Amino acid sequence: MAGEGCQSFPLSHVRVIDLTNVIAGPVATRVLGQLGAQVIKVEQPWGRAIGRVAMHGQQPGHARPYNAIASFNEVNRAKRSVAINLAHENGKGLFYKLVAVSDVLVENYSPRVMGNLGITYAALRKVRPDLVMVSMPAMGASGPWANHICFGPGTDALGGLSDVTGYQGGPPHKPGNFYADHNSAFHVATAVMAALRQRHRTGQGQHIQVVLREATMAVIGEFFLGYQLTGHPPQRMGSHHPAMVPHNVYRCKGDDAWAVIAVASEEEWQCFCKAIGSPPWCCEERFGTFLERWRHQEELDRLIQGWTEQRTPHEVMEVLQGHGVKAGAVLKAPEILENPHWRERGFVDRTEHPEAGSYKHPGLPWKSSRSPANLGQRAPLYAEHREWVLGELLGVGDEEAVQLRAAATTPAEPVEP
Amino acid sequence: MADSALSGVGVLDLSQGVSGGYCTKLLADLGARVIKVEPPSVGDCTRRAGPFLNDIPDLEASAPFLYLNTGKQSITLDLKSPTGQRILLELVKGTDVLVENFKPGVMEKLGLGYSVLEQVNPGLVMASISCFGQSGPYRDYEGCELVAYAMSGYMYLTGDEDREPLKAGGSQSGYQAGLAAAMAVLAALTRKDFTGTGQYLDVSTIEALAGTFDGVSFYTMMERSGIMPRRAGTRLITREPQAPYPSRLLPCKDGWVHVHWSPSFPEGLALLTGNPGLAAAEVMAAMMGHADEIDQMLVDWLKDHSREEVQSLAQEIRVPFTMVHSIAEVLADPQNEAQGFFVEIDHPVAGRLRYPSPPFRVPLSPWRPARAPLLGEHNLEIYCHRLGHSMEDLTRLRQLNVI
């Protein structure tokens, strides 16, 4: 697709083959789709394909349940879908034809599976010499744990993020849900765009590796240096901060309602005291200096909570922000969807899905002055674009197409193995 | 010098802290030439953040600064002084990308808004990272790591069910904002290759973080079932009884492990532990509904096994369990060793330390490990050799605290 001139979306000259499952890989290719790339998801022929059945957000009793899984439909927006049996010779042939007309291939199978399928970068280069390929192994392409099975949350544990997350004095914890998956996905999108730019200049493709666990370690990099510099391990500190007091989450009026407050300087402390009406305890000796406040943090937090408990999270935020103090409501999902700030910025994307109804999604986290937001792009139905792939895209001859349509190679509906 | 993905791309980094630092670190990792513009005398705030070498505060030995600024150059410049602003405009002429993370409106007040910079350099790609974005009712609110984590919606989903919400360790808001900015810059550079025009990028930290959890599943769950998604300890967040076993952290003999059930091997837990209860029909039909029972059966087995044993026994039969590693253990583990992930870099003050490699391996753009710069280390090179100021000017500018 290269060679298109003036373009509205940054990647509208790029075709991507998405050979990924679950969260991390699909999010990576979704970002490329949101930036205008034409992304073709190559799905497995059988219904047990992990992303289609295993995740949450299913609609029980749905006629084609694999088309109505909320998490699948979230992470696979802005893509087309074709199902291909890569273990079948005809299927593999079709896959190579697809690769020959594509710019990028992203896969997140374990190194073992790709080896078994015989799909290697060396082989793919023969049909597409300047292909940019990305592999996303959990642990790495080699090494003693190369074939370990591990999903994003497992890398929180094995990469150190769990070790530095948790309540003060408590056991290791983790950010909710699939943080590591999304994190690695965004690193993949970054690397793909860099490699495409290099290809634009040099004509050369390459095979990139983004290791799930390494992407997790990269976003806590300072802890590895800190440990070497000081010789002592980091402590889990809840929502506290080493250099800000108060710095915590406080219970507010309402059901499971919370707000955060962070005070960074002497000046901000004065503003904070004023904002909460200068209660007598603000002037007590034990809170007189930063170091005193640090030593009496627990008592201070209790007194502050006495103030926040009388107010809703939004009241706490508005009063304190009105005095220039860092504060925020701990927002729940519906508050994000209805919040005037997010609405004004057009962050929440909406899609209409023919079998699953309407969805709301987070959009891309930036606004570009000269590229419109590529909104409203829904996820594909299973194998929705089979005829388009065989016909318009690849121009497969009639006889061959009949063979390929045979369920075992490129089914229109999932087949049971 | 060998080619790299961002060869020839010049970046001016006016930012402080994690978000802008991580953005331009990624660009430097990919071969861009990054000049960090720091306030004279004090430098980037991460220079004062620590932890420090031997716990002695030192602008040149702060862990987050050393990590976030590998491979960059540093100059000092007071952007509040008219002389400093004039010098910055000179620098903008020769750059491709500018990254900043001041509060919205600060660059305009300094006379350095995009409309001004674009006139000096029409192809400029400028990324402004802020907590809430450059528009909307919260634009002028005070933000920080904690506030962003709360207002992204992520904090409500992190922590124990019966306790207060919890902030993730480190600076995840900052990292995600930086990563979003890096994506935005690369997309804008790609577009510029075709159109020749630059653009202005408004990156919001709360939006970046809000994109890191399964937004739609939660929103849909809430809207269709009326069930509010809520934090669930270390379990995956789901409320549907028929959902798969929610992976979580559990204690074992000598620490903690992450346990996970794999749909491609449903009987794995029973096989690993020898407990048929873990494959019982009623459990398999509604794993989330039986999550507490599953936990208990796993804990009964885990208490007799060490982390190492758990990981190797499980992985041997393709059950995706992993151990919880401490920071020290990660630094020394055999997989990182084999992958060569930690690479030694020397630094005149901090000494020889093992740094994480970039989180992508791009073979035609190999990483060239290089330390973080000293404060103002490249003043002579940039101001005199590149902009053509004299050595006398350099001294005067220092005396006036402009650099």
What is the domain-level CATH number for residue A252? 3.30.1540.10
pLDDT in tens, A217-262: 999 999 999 999 999 999 999 999 989 999 999 999 999 999 999 9
Q: Verify whether the Cβ–Cβ distance B166 to A239 is below 8 Å.
A: yes
CA–CA gap between residue A218 and residue A191 (Å, rounded): 14
Query: What is the model's pLDDT at position B322?
Result: 97
Q: Verify whether the Cβ–Cβ distance B146 to A258 is below 8 Å.
A: no
pLDDT in tens, B99-144: 999 999 999 999 999 999 999 999 999 999 999 999 999 999 999 9
B153: left (phi over 0), alpha (psi -120 to 50) or beta: left
Measured at the alpha carbon of residue A136, what is the angle toward residues A233 and A223, in degrees to the nearest 5? 15
Residues of B in contact with A331 (CB under 8 A): 150-153, 156
Q: Which amino acid is at B200?
A: Y
The boundaries of the domain holding residue A282 are: 247-334
Residue A339 falls inside a structural domain: no
CB B123 within 8 A of CB B196: yes
Q: Which two tokens stand for residue A75?
A: 């992470």
* Percent of chain B clearing pLDDT 70 (strictly above): 97
Q: Verify whether the Cβ–Cβ distance B359 to A153 is below 8 Å.
A: no
CB A138 within 8 A of CB A147: no
Which residues, 6 or more positions from A338, have their beta carbon under 8 angstroms from its beta carbon? none
Nearest to B323 among A158, A166, A247 (CB): A158
Radius of gyration of chain A (CA): 26
Q: Which of A367, A375, A378 should we substitute to test contact with B (largest number of B Cβ atoms within 10 Å)?
A: A367
Q: Residue B373 has what DSSP assignment?
A: P
Chain A nearest-CA residue for B211 = A362
Residues of A in contact with B338 (CB under 8 A): 140, 142-144
- Give the residue from A310, A334, A358 where a domain finishes: A334
CA–CA gap between residue A255 and residue A384 (Å, rounded): 44
Considering only CA atoms, which of A343, A359, A34, A335 is closest in space to residue B152? A335
Query: What is the model's pLDDT at position A59?
Result: 64
Chain B nearest-CA residue for A150 = B320
Residues of B in contact with A149 (CB under 8 A): 262, 315, 318-320
Query: What is the model's pLDDT at position A115?
Result: 83
Omega cis (within 30) before B51: yes
Overall domain count for chain A: 2
Nearest to B191 among A7, A56, A179 (CB): A7
Count the residues in chain A.
417
pLDDT in tens, B253-283: 999 999 998 877 889 999 999 999 999 999 9
CB B149 within 8 A of CB B168: yes
B253 vs chain A: nearest CA distance in angstroms?
14
Helix (H, G, I), strand (E, B) or coil at A180: helix
- Give the residue from A334, A355, A376 where a domain finishes: A334
Are A117 and A214 within one domain? yes
CA–CA gap between residue B128 and residue B114 (Å, rounded): 10
Whether B155 and chain A come into contact, CB under 8 Å, resolves to yes
Q: Which residues pair with A135 in a beta bridge?
A: A107, A209
Count the residues in chain B.
403
B-proximal residues of A, 111-170, CB under 8 Å? 139-140, 142-151, 153-167
pLDDT in tens, A378-417: 999 999 999 999 999 999 888 888 888 887 789 888 887 5
Q: Verify whether the Cβ–Cβ distance B335 to A225 is below 8 Å.
A: no
Q: Where are the domains of chain B?
A: 10-211+339-399, 234-324
pLDDT in tens, B218-247: 666 667 777 778 899 999 887 677 778 878
For range B392-401, the mean pLDDT: 96
Q: Verify whether the Cβ–Cβ distance A211 to B339 is below 8 Å.
A: yes
Across A3-7, A323-327, B45-49, B352-356, least confident range: A3-7
Residue A199 falls inside a structural domain: yes
Give the model's confidence band at A60: pLDDT under 50 very low, under 70 low, under 90 confident, else very high: low
B392 vs chain A: nearest CA distance in angstroms?
38
Average pLDDT of chain B is 94
Across A156-165, A330-339, B391-400, least confident range: A330-339
B168 vs chain A: nearest CA distance in angstroms?
5
CA–CA gap between residue B321 and residue B266 (Å, rounded): 14
Residue A323 falls inside a structural domain: yes
Q: Is the pLDDT of residue B292 over 60?
A: yes
CA–CA gap between residue A265 and residue A168 (Å, rounded): 23
Residue A416 falls inside a structural domain: no
Residue B297 phi, psi (nearest 5) = -65, -35
Q: Which of B4, B219, B231, B337 should we substitute to test contact with A (largest number of A Cβ atoms within 10 Å)?
A: B219
Q: Verify whether the Cβ–Cβ distance A153 to B236 is below 8 Å.
A: yes
pLDDT in tens, A368-378: 999 888 899 99
Chain B nearest-CA residue for A190 = B183
Q: Is the pLDDT of residue A1 over 50?
A: no
Residues of B in contact with A225 (CB under 8 A): 63-64, 66-67, 350, 353, 355
A-proximal residues of B, 172-211, CB under 8 Å? 172, 175-177, 179-184, 186-191, 193-195, 197, 199-204, 207-208, 210-211
Q: Using alpha carbons, list the distances in angstroms from residue A108 to A24, A29, A54, A80, A211.
A: 8, 11, 16, 18, 10
Residue A315 falls inside a structural domain: yes
Q: Verify whether the Cβ–Cβ distance B133 to A217 is below 8 Å.
A: no
CB B341 within 8 A of CB A217: yes
Give the model's confidence band at B309: pLDDT under 50 very low, under 70 low, under 90 confident, else very high: very high
Nearest to A251 among B164, B330, B337 (CB): B164
Nearest to A230 among B54, B211, B214 (CB): B54
Q: Using alpha carbons, list the distances in angstroms from residue A275 to A262, A304, A330.
A: 13, 12, 19
Query: What is the model's pLDDT at position B336?
Result: 97
Q: Residue B344 has what DSSP assignment?
A: E
Buried b (16+ CB within 10 A) or exposed e, A145-183: bbbbbbbbbbbbbbbbbbbbbbbeeeebbbbbbbbbbbb
B300 vs chain A: nearest CA distance in angstroms?
18
CA–CA gap between residue A291 and residue A271 (Å, rounded): 18
Q: Which amino acid is at A86?
A: L
CATH of the domain at A95: 3.40.50.10540
Q: Verify whether the Cβ–Cβ distance B179 to A187 is below 8 Å.
A: yes
For range A42-58, the mean pLDDT: 65
Residues of B in contact with A262 (CB under 8 A): 144, 146-147
Residues of A in contact with B210 (CB under 8 A): 336, 347, 362, 365
User: H/E element holding A43?
Assistant: strand A38-43
Q: Using alpha carbons, list the distances in angstroms from residue B348 to A406, B42, B162, B182, B351.
A: 66, 19, 48, 29, 6
Ordered alpha helix ranges (H), B345-384? 379
Are A208 and A255 within one domain? no
Task: Give A369: exposed, middle or buried? Use CB within 10 Å, 0-12, 13-18, 19+.
Answer: middle
Chain CA centroid to CA A33, Å:
14
Give the model's confidence band at A50: pLDDT under 50 very low, under 70 low, under 90 confident, else very high: low
Identical topology for domains B10-211+339-399 and B234-324: no
A266 vs chain B: nearest CA distance in angstroms?
16
DSSP codes of every residue in A285-305: GGGSSHHHHHHTHHHHHHHHH
B399 vs chain A: nearest CA distance in angstroms?
29
Are A204 and A284 within one domain? no
- Give the residue from A290, A313, A334 where a domain finishes: A334
For range B332-347, the mean pLDDT: 97
Nearest to B335 among A71, A145, A182 (CB): A145
Residue A230 falls inside a structural domain: no
pLDDT in tens, A272-317: 999 999 999 999 999 999 999 999 999 999 999 999 999 999 999 9
Are A330 and A351 within one domain? no
Query: What is the model's pLDDT at position A359?
Result: 87
Residue B198 phi, psi (nearest 5) = -85, -170
Give the model's confidence band at A6: pLDDT under 50 very low, under 70 low, under 90 confident, else very high: very low
A-proximal residues of B, 228-267, CB under 8 Å? 228-234, 236-238, 240, 242-244, 247, 249, 251, 256-258, 260, 262-264
CB B63 within 8 A of CB B103: no
Q: Verify whether the Cβ–Cβ distance A187 to B194 is below 8 Å.
A: no
Q: Is the pLDDT of residue A4 over 50?
A: no
Q: Verify whether the Cβ–Cβ distance B147 to A144 is below 8 Å.
A: no
Measured at the alpha carbon of residue B298, what is the angle toward residues B294 and B301, in degrees to the nearest 5? 150
Nearest to B327 among A13, A164, A247 (CB): A164
pLDDT in tens, B24-46: 999 999 999 999 999 999 999 99
CATH superfamily of B10-211+339-399: Crotonobetainyl-coa:carnitine coa-transferase; domain 1 (3.40.50.10540)
Across A46-50, A162-166, B79-83, least confident range: A46-50
Residue A401 falls inside a structural domain: yes
Q: Using alpha carbons, list the distances in angstroms from residue B197 to B3, B126, B165, B188, B201.
A: 24, 12, 44, 9, 13
Query: What is the model's pLDDT at position B221?
Result: 66
Are A172 and A308 within one domain? no
A131 vs chain B: nearest CA distance in angstroms?
13
Residues of A in contact with B172 (CB under 8 A): 175, 179, 219
Are A108 and A165 within one domain? yes
Query: What is the model's pLDDT at position B82?
Result: 97
Chain B nearest-CA residue for A60 = B242
Query: What is the model's pLDDT at position A268?
Result: 96
Chain CA centroid to CA B315, Å:
29
Residue A399 falls inside a structural domain: yes
Helix (H, G, I), strand (E, B) or coil at B55: helix
Q: Is the pLDDT of residue A7 over 80?
A: no
A66 vs chain B: nearest CA distance in angstroms?
14
Nearest to B356 among A4, A221, A334 (CB): A221
Torsion of CA A89, A90, A92, A97, to 10 degrees: 150
Q: Residue B2 has what DSSP assignment?
A: -
CB A161 within 8 A of CB B168: yes
B-proximal residues of A, 315-344, CB under 8 Å? 317, 321, 324-337, 340-342, 344
CA–CA gap between residue A6 and residue B32 (Å, rounded): 25
Q: Verify whether the Cβ–Cβ distance A209 to B360 is below 8 Å.
A: yes
Q: Which amino acid is at A216?
A: T
Whose tokens are 């690769």? That residue is A99
Radius of gyration of chain B (CA): 25
Domain B234-324 class in CATH: alpha beta
Measured at the alpha carbon of residue A149, what is the angle toward residues A146 and A150, in degrees to the nearest 5? 105
For range A90-107, the mean pLDDT: 96
B-proximal residues of A, 33-52, CB under 8 Å? 35, 48, 50
Chain A nearest-CA residue for B316 = A148
